[in-house]
Amino acid sequence: LQQHSLDDRWTPQHTNTFLELKRILTSEPVLRCPKWDGTPFIVTTDGCQDGFSAVLMQRFTTVLPSGRTVERLH
Protein backbone atom coordinates (compact mmCIF):
# COMPACT_ATOMS: atom_id res chain seq x y z
CA LEU A 1 0.00 0.00 0.00
CA GLN A 2 2.88 2.36 0.57
CA GLN A 3 4.06 2.07 -3.02
CA HIS A 4 0.67 2.36 -4.69
CA SER A 5 -1.74 5.26 -4.64
CA LEU A 6 -5.31 4.43 -3.64
CA ASP A 7 -6.55 7.99 -4.13
CA ASP A 8 -8.45 7.10 -7.28
CA ARG A 9 -9.96 3.87 -5.89
CA TRP A 10 -10.49 4.46 -2.15
CA THR A 11 -13.88 6.07 -1.58
CA PRO A 12 -15.63 7.40 1.55
CA GLN A 13 -17.63 4.15 1.57
CA HIS A 14 -14.36 2.20 1.89
CA THR A 15 -13.35 4.40 4.82
CA ASN A 16 -16.71 3.92 6.56
CA THR A 17 -16.59 0.15 6.02
CA PHE A 18 -13.02 -0.04 7.35
CA LEU A 19 -13.92 1.97 10.47
CA GLU A 20 -16.98 -0.23 11.12
CA LEU A 21 -14.90 -3.39 10.76
CA LYS A 22 -12.30 -1.98 13.16
CA ARG A 23 -15.04 -1.12 15.69
CA ILE A 24 -16.51 -4.63 15.49
CA LEU A 25 -13.15 -6.39 15.87
CA THR A 26 -12.16 -4.35 18.94
CA SER A 27 -15.41 -4.65 20.91
CA GLU A 28 -17.04 -7.40 22.96
CA PRO A 29 -17.45 -10.31 22.46
CA VAL A 30 -14.61 -10.43 19.90
CA LEU A 31 -12.16 -8.72 22.24
CA ARG A 32 -12.73 -9.50 25.90
CA CYS A 33 -10.65 -9.26 29.06
CA PRO A 34 -9.51 -12.61 30.47
CA LYS A 35 -10.89 -14.06 33.70
CA TRP A 36 -8.15 -14.49 36.31
CA ASP A 37 -10.33 -16.62 38.63
CA GLY A 38 -8.73 -19.93 37.70
CA THR A 39 -10.74 -20.45 34.51
CA PRO A 40 -8.44 -22.43 32.20
CA PHE A 41 -7.07 -20.89 29.05
CA ILE A 42 -7.42 -22.73 25.74
CA VAL A 43 -4.74 -22.32 23.09
CA THR A 44 -5.78 -23.11 19.52
CA THR A 45 -3.08 -23.21 16.87
CA ASP A 46 -2.91 -23.63 13.14
CA GLY A 47 0.04 -23.79 10.83
CA CYS A 48 0.93 -24.39 7.25
CA GLN A 49 3.91 -24.03 4.97
CA ASP A 50 3.43 -20.25 4.81
CA GLY A 51 2.80 -19.36 8.44
CA PHE A 52 1.58 -20.11 11.93
CA SER A 53 -1.12 -18.57 14.12
CA ALA A 54 -2.51 -19.03 17.61
CA VAL A 55 -5.59 -17.90 19.53
CA LEU A 56 -5.88 -17.71 23.31
CA MET A 57 -9.46 -18.32 24.53
CA GLN A 58 -11.54 -18.97 27.64
CA ARG A 59 -15.05 -20.31 28.17
CA PHE A 60 -17.63 -17.72 29.25
CA THR A 61 -21.13 -18.59 30.44
CA THR A 62 -23.93 -16.14 29.70
CA VAL A 63 -27.45 -16.29 31.12
CA LEU A 64 -29.99 -15.21 28.51
CA PRO A 65 -33.16 -13.26 29.44
CA SER A 66 -35.12 -16.49 28.96
CA GLY A 67 -33.07 -18.09 31.75
CA ARG A 68 -31.20 -20.39 29.39
CA THR A 69 -27.42 -20.48 29.79
CA VAL A 70 -25.07 -20.38 26.83
CA GLU A 71 -21.39 -21.24 26.97
CA ARG A 72 -19.11 -19.54 24.45
CA LEU A 73 -15.43 -19.39 23.76
CA HIS A 74 -13.94 -15.90 23.76
pTM of the model: 0.53
Can you give the pLDDT at residue 33?
A: 84
pLDDT in tens, 60-70: 999 999 999 99
**Number of domains within the chain:** 1
CB 25 within 8 A of CB 31: yes
Residue 15 lies in a domain: no
User: Secondary structure of the chain: what % helix, strand, coil (to 5)?
Assistant: 20, 30, 50
Can you give the pLDDT at residue 2?
A: 59
Between 70 and 74, name the one with better pLDDT: 70
Can you give the pLDDT at residue 3?
A: 64
Can you give the pLDDT at residue 56?
A: 92
> Domain range spanning residue 64?
32-73
Residue 26 lies in a domain: no
C-beta neighbour count of 35 within 10 angstroms: 13
